[in-house]
Amino acid sequence: MNIVYVEKVSKEYQLGATVVKALKGVDLAVEGGEFMAIVGPSGSGKSTLLNLIGCIEKPTAGIVKVDGVDVVNLSSNELAVIRAGKLGFIFQTFNLLPVLTVAENVEYPLHLKPVGSKEKKERVDSVLKEVGLERFSAHKPAELSGGQRQRVAIARALVGSPSIILADEPTANLDHKTGTGILELMRGINKKFGTTFIFSTHDQKIVTMADRVVELRDGERAGD
Ligand SMILES: Nc1ncnc2c1ncn2[C@@H]1O[C@H](COP(=O)(O)OP(=O)(O)O)[C@@H](O)[C@H]1O
Ligand SMILES: [Mg+2]
Protein backbone atom coordinates (compact mmCIF):
# COMPACT_ATOMS: atom_id res chain seq x y z
CA MET A 1 0.00 0.00 0.00
CA ASN A 2 1.20 3.51 -0.80
CA ILE A 3 1.51 5.90 2.11
CA VAL A 4 0.34 8.70 -0.19
CA TYR A 5 -1.86 8.09 -3.22
CA VAL A 6 -3.01 10.90 -5.48
CA GLU A 7 -5.04 10.19 -8.62
CA LYS A 8 -6.24 12.63 -11.29
CA VAL A 9 -6.25 15.47 -8.81
CA SER A 10 -7.20 18.93 -9.91
CA LYS A 11 -7.50 22.12 -7.91
CA GLU A 12 -9.13 25.29 -9.11
CA TYR A 13 -9.21 28.62 -7.34
CA GLN A 14 -11.80 31.25 -8.13
CA LEU A 15 -9.98 34.56 -8.32
CA GLY A 16 -12.57 37.26 -8.98
CA ALA A 17 -14.05 36.47 -12.38
CA THR A 18 -11.26 34.08 -13.42
CA VAL A 19 -10.57 30.47 -12.49
CA VAL A 20 -6.95 29.58 -11.72
CA LYS A 21 -6.17 25.93 -12.47
CA ALA A 22 -3.41 25.21 -9.97
CA LEU A 23 -3.39 21.44 -10.61
CA LYS A 24 -4.74 19.68 -13.71
CA GLY A 25 -5.07 15.94 -13.20
CA VAL A 26 -1.95 15.02 -11.23
CA ASP A 27 -1.14 11.41 -10.26
CA LEU A 28 1.39 10.58 -7.55
CA ALA A 29 2.06 7.44 -5.54
CA VAL A 30 4.57 7.55 -2.68
CA GLU A 31 5.89 4.54 -0.78
CA GLY A 32 6.48 4.56 2.95
CA GLY A 33 10.04 5.67 3.76
CA GLU A 34 10.63 7.57 0.52
CA PHE A 35 12.64 10.80 0.55
CA MET A 36 11.28 12.58 -2.47
CA ALA A 37 11.39 16.01 -4.06
CA ILE A 38 8.77 17.94 -6.01
CA VAL A 39 10.38 20.47 -8.33
CA GLY A 40 9.09 22.98 -10.84
CA PRO A 41 9.00 26.72 -11.46
CA SER A 42 7.17 29.14 -9.22
CA GLY A 43 3.41 28.82 -9.76
CA SER A 44 3.62 25.23 -11.06
CA GLY A 45 1.47 23.85 -8.22
CA LYS A 46 4.03 22.47 -5.73
CA SER A 47 2.52 24.10 -2.63
CA THR A 48 -0.99 23.23 -3.76
CA LEU A 49 -0.06 19.56 -4.11
CA LEU A 50 1.61 19.51 -0.67
CA ASN A 51 -1.44 21.23 0.88
CA LEU A 52 -3.77 18.61 -0.60
CA ILE A 53 -1.62 15.75 0.70
CA GLY A 54 -1.39 17.58 4.04
CA CYS A 55 -5.19 17.76 4.34
CA ILE A 56 -4.95 21.56 4.51
CA GLU A 57 -7.00 21.95 1.34
CA LYS A 58 -9.41 19.76 -0.62
CA PRO A 59 -9.14 18.99 -4.32
CA THR A 60 -11.72 20.19 -6.84
CA ALA A 61 -11.67 16.66 -8.29
CA GLY A 62 -9.70 13.46 -7.87
CA ILE A 63 -8.57 11.08 -5.14
CA VAL A 64 -6.22 11.80 -2.23
CA LYS A 65 -5.38 8.96 0.16
CA VAL A 66 -3.13 9.30 3.18
CA ASP A 67 -2.00 6.03 4.74
CA GLY A 68 -4.89 4.25 3.01
CA VAL A 69 -7.55 6.72 4.17
CA ASP A 70 -9.52 8.57 1.50
CA VAL A 71 -9.34 12.10 2.90
CA VAL A 72 -11.36 13.99 0.29
CA ASN A 73 -14.75 13.62 1.95
CA LEU A 74 -13.72 13.80 5.59
CA SER A 75 -15.06 16.49 7.91
CA SER A 76 -12.72 19.17 9.17
CA ASN A 77 -12.58 17.44 12.57
CA GLU A 78 -11.63 14.14 10.95
CA LEU A 79 -8.97 15.92 8.89
CA ALA A 80 -7.55 17.52 12.03
CA VAL A 81 -7.14 14.03 13.52
CA ILE A 82 -5.26 12.84 10.41
CA ARG A 83 -3.04 15.93 10.42
CA ALA A 84 -2.20 15.55 14.11
CA GLY A 85 -1.70 11.77 13.94
CA LYS A 86 0.11 11.17 10.68
CA LEU A 87 1.54 14.41 9.31
CA GLY A 88 4.27 16.89 10.12
CA PHE A 89 4.81 20.21 8.34
CA ILE A 90 7.87 22.32 7.61
CA PHE A 91 7.53 25.68 5.85
CA GLN A 92 9.83 28.02 3.94
CA THR A 93 9.36 30.78 6.51
CA PHE A 94 9.68 28.43 9.54
CA ASN A 95 6.32 29.63 10.98
CA LEU A 96 7.43 29.61 14.61
CA LEU A 97 5.40 31.53 17.17
CA PRO A 98 7.64 34.41 18.29
CA VAL A 99 6.25 34.75 21.83
CA LEU A 100 6.86 31.08 22.64
CA THR A 101 10.19 29.54 23.57
CA VAL A 102 11.83 26.91 21.40
CA ALA A 103 10.52 24.13 23.68
CA GLU A 104 6.99 25.61 23.69
CA ASN A 105 6.98 25.88 19.89
CA VAL A 106 8.04 22.25 19.59
CA GLU A 107 5.43 21.11 22.12
CA TYR A 108 2.63 22.98 20.35
CA PRO A 109 1.32 20.15 18.10
CA LEU A 110 0.97 17.90 21.16
CA HIS A 111 -1.81 20.14 22.53
CA LEU A 112 -4.22 18.19 20.34
CA LYS A 113 -3.03 14.83 21.67
CA PRO A 114 -3.83 12.89 24.82
CA VAL A 115 -0.24 13.02 26.05
CA GLY A 116 0.61 13.66 29.72
CA SER A 117 2.87 16.57 30.67
CA LYS A 118 5.80 14.35 31.66
CA GLU A 119 5.71 12.52 28.34
CA LYS A 120 5.34 15.83 26.50
CA LYS A 121 8.53 17.11 28.08
CA GLU A 122 10.37 13.87 27.30
CA ARG A 123 9.26 14.00 23.67
CA VAL A 124 10.24 17.66 23.30
CA ASP A 125 13.66 17.02 24.86
CA SER A 126 14.20 14.02 22.62
CA VAL A 127 13.37 15.77 19.33
CA LEU A 128 15.35 18.88 20.30
CA LYS A 129 18.31 16.60 20.90
CA GLU A 130 17.67 14.99 17.51
CA VAL A 131 18.09 18.37 15.79
CA GLY A 132 21.01 19.43 18.01
CA LEU A 133 19.22 22.25 19.83
CA GLU A 134 18.77 20.90 23.36
CA ARG A 135 20.75 23.83 24.77
CA PHE A 136 18.38 26.35 23.15
CA SER A 137 15.09 25.11 24.59
CA ALA A 138 14.47 28.27 26.66
CA HIS A 139 15.39 30.70 23.87
CA LYS A 140 12.94 32.64 21.73
CA PRO A 141 13.00 32.16 17.93
CA ALA A 142 14.30 35.72 17.40
CA GLU A 143 17.51 34.74 19.21
CA LEU A 144 18.27 32.00 16.68
CA SER A 145 19.76 31.94 13.17
CA GLY A 146 17.66 30.93 10.16
CA GLY A 147 19.16 27.45 10.11
CA GLN A 148 18.49 27.00 13.83
CA ARG A 149 14.89 28.17 13.39
CA GLN A 150 14.35 25.61 10.67
CA ARG A 151 15.79 22.96 13.01
CA VAL A 152 13.18 23.98 15.58
CA ALA A 153 10.52 23.60 12.90
CA ILE A 154 11.86 20.12 12.09
CA ALA A 155 11.69 19.19 15.79
CA ARG A 156 8.10 20.49 15.90
CA ALA A 157 7.23 18.41 12.83
CA LEU A 158 8.77 15.33 14.46
CA VAL A 159 7.30 15.60 17.95
CA GLY A 160 4.05 13.79 17.11
CA SER A 161 5.98 10.87 15.49
CA PRO A 162 4.33 11.39 12.09
CA SER A 163 4.68 8.86 9.30
CA ILE A 164 4.90 11.65 6.70
CA ILE A 165 6.65 15.02 6.83
CA LEU A 166 5.74 17.59 4.18
CA ALA A 167 8.29 20.36 3.66
CA ASP A 168 7.43 23.26 1.36
CA GLU A 169 10.70 24.79 0.10
CA PRO A 170 12.35 24.24 3.49
CA THR A 171 15.70 25.69 2.37
CA ALA A 172 14.49 28.65 0.30
CA ASN A 173 15.28 31.22 3.00
CA LEU A 174 18.67 29.73 3.89
CA ASP A 175 22.13 30.07 2.37
CA HIS A 176 23.30 27.05 0.42
CA LYS A 177 25.52 25.55 3.13
CA THR A 178 22.85 25.90 5.82
CA GLY A 179 20.22 24.53 3.43
CA THR A 180 22.35 21.49 2.69
CA GLY A 181 22.71 20.92 6.45
CA ILE A 182 18.92 21.04 6.84
CA LEU A 183 18.47 18.52 4.03
CA GLU A 184 21.11 16.25 5.58
CA LEU A 185 19.27 16.43 8.91
CA MET A 186 15.98 15.52 7.21
CA ARG A 187 17.72 12.68 5.37
CA GLY A 188 19.14 11.38 8.66
CA ILE A 189 15.67 11.38 10.26
CA ASN A 190 14.28 9.62 7.19
CA LYS A 191 16.88 6.84 7.52
CA LYS A 192 16.69 6.55 11.32
CA PHE A 193 12.90 6.55 11.80
CA GLY A 194 11.70 5.57 8.31
CA THR A 195 9.70 8.81 8.12
CA THR A 196 8.46 9.56 4.60
CA PHE A 197 9.56 13.01 3.41
CA ILE A 198 7.97 14.90 0.54
CA PHE A 199 9.63 18.26 -0.02
CA SER A 200 9.40 20.91 -2.69
CA THR A 201 12.46 22.83 -3.76
CA HIS A 202 14.01 25.07 -6.38
CA ASP A 203 17.53 24.13 -5.40
CA GLN A 204 19.10 21.82 -8.01
CA LYS A 205 21.95 20.75 -5.71
CA ILE A 206 19.52 19.66 -3.03
CA VAL A 207 17.48 17.69 -5.55
CA THR A 208 20.40 15.28 -5.93
CA MET A 209 19.86 14.13 -2.34
CA ALA A 210 16.36 12.85 -3.10
CA ASP A 211 15.50 9.21 -3.83
CA ARG A 212 13.13 10.44 -6.51
CA VAL A 213 12.24 13.71 -8.17
CA VAL A 214 8.80 14.57 -9.53
CA GLU A 215 8.51 17.60 -11.76
CA LEU A 216 5.46 19.84 -12.05
CA ARG A 217 4.95 22.30 -14.84
CA ASP A 218 1.87 24.49 -15.09
CA GLY A 219 -0.14 22.19 -12.80
CA GLU A 220 0.82 18.94 -14.54
CA ARG A 221 3.43 16.20 -14.11
CA ALA A 222 6.32 16.75 -16.50
CA GLY A 223 9.56 15.10 -17.43
CA ASP A 224 8.91 11.49 -16.44
N1 LIG B 1 -5.36 30.50 -2.51
C2 LIG B 1 -5.19 30.73 -3.82
N3 LIG B 1 -6.05 31.51 -4.51
C4 LIG B 1 -5.88 31.71 -5.82
N5 LIG B 1 -4.88 31.21 -6.56
C6 LIG B 1 -3.98 30.42 -5.92
C7 LIG B 1 -4.08 30.15 -4.54
N8 LIG B 1 -3.05 29.33 -4.19
C9 LIG B 1 -2.34 29.13 -5.31
N10 LIG B 1 -2.89 29.79 -6.36
C11 LIG B 1 -2.41 29.76 -7.75
O12 LIG B 1 -2.23 28.42 -8.13
C13 LIG B 1 -1.05 28.27 -8.92
C14 LIG B 1 -0.10 27.29 -8.26
O15 LIG B 1 0.38 27.87 -7.05
P16 LIG B 1 1.35 27.14 -6.04
O17 LIG B 1 0.82 25.79 -5.74
O18 LIG B 1 1.56 28.06 -4.90
O19 LIG B 1 2.69 26.98 -6.90
P20 LIG B 1 4.20 26.80 -6.43
O21 LIG B 1 4.20 26.36 -5.00
O22 LIG B 1 4.77 25.77 -7.37
O23 LIG B 1 4.87 28.13 -6.61
C24 LIG B 1 -0.48 29.67 -9.10
O25 LIG B 1 -0.99 30.20 -10.30
C26 LIG B 1 -1.06 30.41 -7.90
O27 LIG B 1 -1.16 31.78 -8.17
MG1 LIG C 1 5.05 27.19 -3.34
Q: In tens digits, what is the pLDDT along the chain, a chain of 224 residues?
A: 899 999 999 999 999 999 999 999 999 999 999 999 999 999 999 999 999 999 999 999 999 999 999 999 999 999 999 999 999 999 999 999 999 999 999 999 998 788 899 999 999 999 999 999 999 999 999 999 999 999 999 999 999 999 999 999 999 999 999 999 999 999 999 999 999 999 999 887 778 899 999 999 999 999 76
At residue 135, the pLDDT reads 97
Distance 201 CA to ligand 1 centre (A): 15
Sheet order of strands, 220-222 included: 87-91, 164-168, 196-200, 35-39, 212-217, 220-222
Whole-angstrom distance, CA of residue 71 vs CA of residue 129: 33
Phi (first) and psi of residue 79, to 5 degrees: -65, -35
The pTM for the full model equals 0.95
* Minimum CA distance residue for ligand 1 atom 17: 45
At residue 205, the pLDDT reads 74
Alpha helices in 94-217 (DSSP H): 102-107, 117-130, 146-158, 176-193, 204-207
Distance 181 CA to ligand 2 centre (A): 21
User: Cβ(15) to ligand 1 under 6 A?
Assistant: yes
User: Cβ(146) to ligand 1 under 6 A?
Assistant: no
Which of ligand 1's atoms lies nearest the C-alpha of 44?
A: 22
Q: Which domain holds residue 161?
A: 4-222
At residue 202, the pLDDT reads 83
**Considering its fold, how many domains does the chain have in total?**
1
At residue 224, the pLDDT reads 61
Distance 43 CA to ligand 1 centre (A): 6
At residue 37, the pLDDT reads 97
CATH number for the domain harbouring residue 170: 3.40.50.300
User: Cβ(46) to ligand 1 under 6 A?
Assistant: yes
Ligand nearest to the CA of 40: 1
At residue 102, the pLDDT reads 98
Distance 87 CA to ligand 1 centre (A): 22
